[in-house]
């Protein structure tokens, strides 16, 4: 039989899902191994961190024009850090679910627009893959709930911490 010109995406090596997209490999920090899994942070991540910082600072300056420049910069920095931590927590959710189903993790990768938890093997059942995929967003929902709850507890008056937490919630 003839092969189609544009084959449909499908299983690779017996997996239920297509092969992952290759990620950049240049590291800016020495490899650390949280939970025994290597963490690679690509140099392009600094661009993303800077963009979150600048956009947060711009938004703060527009919404709160009386806020001091130093406070604006501090809150923008806090938001960039919290965003990065929430990204890591999201991937950790995937990793913990994958380990729960007995899968082996190859590494965590962080680059300009995201992160990935790479596995060396595929989920054995579609239900396992569903829970692995759903665990990252579930972590984000928990973080959003915590941020929203913190925001509600700190109002009124609006505190700088509450503003930073609310911005982190919006960035999820």
DSSP H helices, 15-159, are 45-63, 69-100, 126-154
- pLDDT value at residue 83: 85
The token pair that represents 141 in the structure block: 């929902």
How confident is the model over 72-82, as a mean pLDDT?
89
Q: Work out the pLDDT band at 172, boundaries 50, 70, 90.
A: low
- pLDDT value at residue 134: 93
Residue 165 dihedral angles phi and psi, to the nearest 5°: -65, -40
- pLDDT value at residue 147: 77
- pLDDT value at residue 167: 62
pLDDT at 31 over 80: no
pLDDT: is 13 or 25 the higher one? 25
Q: What's the angle, vertex CA 145, arms to CA 139 and CA 149, rounded to 5?
A: 150
How confident is the model over 9-34, as a mean pLDDT?
54
Which H/E stretch holds residue 160? helix 160-171
pLDDT at 89 over 60: yes
pTM (global) more than 0.85: no
- pLDDT value at residue 53: 93
| Distance (Å, whole) CA 50 – CA 73 | 12
116 strand-pairing partners? 109
pLDDT: is 45 or 77 the higher one? 77
pLDDT: is 106 or 98 the higher one? 98
- pLDDT value at residue 54: 93
- pLDDT value at residue 82: 85
């Amino acid at each position: 039989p003839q092969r189609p010109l544009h084959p449909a995406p499908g299983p690779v090596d017996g997996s239920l899902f297509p092969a992952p997209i290759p990620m950049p490999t240049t590291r800016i920090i020495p490899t650390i191994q949280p939970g025994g899994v290597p963490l690679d942070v690509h140099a392009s991540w600094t661009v993303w961190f800077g963009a979150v910082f600048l956009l947060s600072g711009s938004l703060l300056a527009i919404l709160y024009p009386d806020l001091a420049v130093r406070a604006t910069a501090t809150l923008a920095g806090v938001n960039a850090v919290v965003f990065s931590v929430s990204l890591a927590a999201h991937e950790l959710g995937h990793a913990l679910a994958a380990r729960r189903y007995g899968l082996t993790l190859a590494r965590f990768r962080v680059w300009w627009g995201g992160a990935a938890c790479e596995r060396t093997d595929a989920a054995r059942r579609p239900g396992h893959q569903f829970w692995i995929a759903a665990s990252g967003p579930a972590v984000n929902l928990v973080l959003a709930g915590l941020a929203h709850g913190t925001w509600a507890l700190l109002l009124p008056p609006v505190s700088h911490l509450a503003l930073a937490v609310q911005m982190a919630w919006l960035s999820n």
